[in-house]
């Protein structure tokens, strides 16, 4: 039972990070129908931007104010990065075949990984302790306060995003653009600006995930480490399982992947963990190709 609870809590903790990342994949896919392979690099940059700022300004005393400021700063920097990626790499290809955009995304990803190494070095870094560490026990399981804070932060950001997409004018425009660019334009929606905005928001969420990884684990792998990409891949799987293009789907998918990873790793095999997750993807795609909450095409003539 304790074991079960431990996997459950850990699963939620990891899953909420996947969910934050998955949102970026799903929003960009929803609006441009391509997989933004550079998304996991923006996530990595979020961790490194905040690490760099913290070390520059010698922010060594844990405080919620410092942690929040760093989180917001990293989100702003990554939002700018996302904006530039879209503007410089993807926008010129708006009328090009999707495959060209996909290859460009891989190029951008490699560019960011290597620039990351150039700027931040090729070594893993220990991440400063930004929040005071407490441990308490829930049903015999030790829970770290930073993990709770990370989960709460991730959930708050997801609620904020959900509100943005479903309750605001710009969110309505994003949904309209994801259905039909041309008709959205006829409504007076500046389509290109909405696409930029989507990259800005998705990148800010990825940055938040990066900062939360640093806060939770206390160290970050070097910029070109394969673990960043693996994180991204699993978040992408989460987006597909939830139904690519669906915002609630990405959140659900992220949590499911996190839980699945912990339970499979805990009860079955750590080695087979990732294989099983990708097998799960195949099963979902076979049974429900549009994903759990994917858009069902409703069309009437």
Partner 1 sequence: MSLLEVDALDVHYGAIHALHKVSLAVEEGEIVTLIGSNGAGKSTTLRALSGMVQSSGGTIVYGGRSIVGLRSDEIVRLGLAHAPEGRGIFGSLTVRENLELGAFSRRDGKVRSDLERMFERFPILQERAQQSAGTLSGGEQQMLAVARALMARPKLLLLDEPSLGLAPKIVQKIFAIVAEINRDGVTILLVEQNAHLALSVAHRAYVLETGEVKMAGSASELAASDEVRKAYLGVG
Residues touching partner 1, count (CB under 8 A): 23
> In the window 187-246, what residues touch partner 1 (CB under 8 A)?
187-191
Closer CB to partner 1, residue 157 or residue 189? 189
> At its nearest, how many Å lie between partner 1 and the CB of residue 185?
3
Applying CB under 8 A, which of residues 175, 227, 248, 273 lies at the interface with partner 1? Answer: 175
Q: Tell me if 95 contacts partner 1 by CB under 8 A.
A: no
Closer CB to partner 1, residue 47 or residue 184? 184
> At its nearest, how many Å lie between partner 1 and the CB of residue 175?
6
HEC string of the chain equals: CHHHHHHHHHHHHHHHHHHHHHHHHHHHHHHHCCCCCCHHHHHHHHHHHHHHHHHHCCCCCCCHHHHHHHHHHHHHHHHHHHHHHHHHHHHHHCCCCHHHHHHHHHHHHHHHHHHHHHHHCCCCEECCCCCCCCEEEECCEEEEHHHHHHHHHHHHHHHHHHHHHHHCHHHHHHHHHHHCHHHHHHCCCCHHHHHHHHHHHHHHHHHHHHHHHHHHHCEECCCCCHHHHHHHHHHHHHHHHHCCCCHHHHHHHHHHHHHHHHHHHHHHCCCCHHHHHHHHHHHHHHHCCCCCCCCCCCCCC
Q: Tell me if 301 contacts partner 1 by CB under 8 A.
A: yes
> At its nearest, how many Å lie between partner 1 and the CB of residue 295?
6
Do you know the residue count of the chain? 301
Q: Tell me if 169 contacts partner 1 by CB under 8 A.
A: yes
Closer CB to partner 1, residue 198 or residue 222? 198
> At its nearest, how many Å lie between partner 1 and the CB of residue 244?
14
Contact (CB, 8 A) for 22 and 235: yes
Closer CB to partner 1, residue 183 or residue 283? 183
Applying CB under 8 A, which of residues 78, 176, 205, 244 lies at the interface with partner 1? Answer: 176
> At its nearest, how many Å lie between partner 1 and the CB of residue 296?
9
> At its nearest, how many Å lie between partner 1 and the CB of residue 182?
5
Q: Tell me if 172 contacts partner 1 by CB under 8 A.
A: yes
Applying CB under 8 A, which of residues 152, 183, 268, 275 lies at the interface with partner 1? Answer: 183
> At its nearest, how many Å lie between partner 1 and the CB of residue 290?
12
User: Exposure pattern of 144-154 as b/e (b: 16+ CB <10 Å)?
Assistant: bebbbbbbebb
Can you give the binding site for partner 1, defined by CB under 8 A? Answer: 169, 172-173, 175-176, 179-180, 182-191, 295, 297-301
């Amino acid at each position: 039972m304790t074991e079960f609870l431990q996997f459950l809590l850990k699963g939620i903790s990891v899953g909420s990070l996947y969910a934050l990342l998955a949102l970026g994949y799903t929003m960009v896919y929803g609006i441009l129908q391509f997989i933004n392979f550079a998304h996991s690099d923006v996530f990595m940059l979020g961790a490194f931007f905040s690490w760099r700022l913290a070390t520059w300004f010698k922010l060594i005393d844990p405080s919620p104010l410092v942690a929040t400021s760093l989180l917001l700063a990293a989100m702003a920097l990554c939002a700018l990065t996302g904006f530039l990626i879209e503007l410089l790499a993807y926008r010129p290809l708006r009328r090009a075949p999707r495959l060209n955009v996909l290859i460009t995304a891989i190029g951008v990803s490699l560019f960011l990984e290597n620039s990351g190494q150039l700027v931040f070095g090729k070594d893993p870094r220990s991440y400063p302790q930004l929040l005071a560490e407490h441990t308490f026990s829930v049903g015999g399981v030790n829970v770290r306060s930073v993990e709770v804070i990370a989960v709460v932060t991730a959930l708050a950001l997801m609620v904020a995003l959900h509100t943005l997409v479903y309750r605001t004018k710009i969110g309505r425009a994003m949904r309209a653009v994801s259905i039909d660019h041309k008709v959205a334009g006829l409504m007076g929606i500046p389509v290109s600006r909405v696409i930029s905005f989507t990259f800005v928001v998705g990148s800010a969420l990825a940055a938040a995930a990066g900062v939360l990884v640093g806060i939770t684990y206390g160290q970050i792998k070097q910029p070109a480490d394969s673990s960043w990409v693996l994180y991204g891949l699993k978040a992408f799987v989460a987006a597909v399982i939830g139904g690519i293009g669906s915002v609630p789907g990405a959140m659900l998918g992220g949590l499911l992947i996190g839980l699945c990873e912990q339970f499979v790793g805990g009860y079955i095999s750590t080695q087979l963990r990732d294989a099983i997750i990708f097998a799960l993807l195949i099963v979902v795609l076979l049974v429900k190709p549009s994903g759990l909450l994917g858009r069902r095409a409703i069309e009437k003539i």
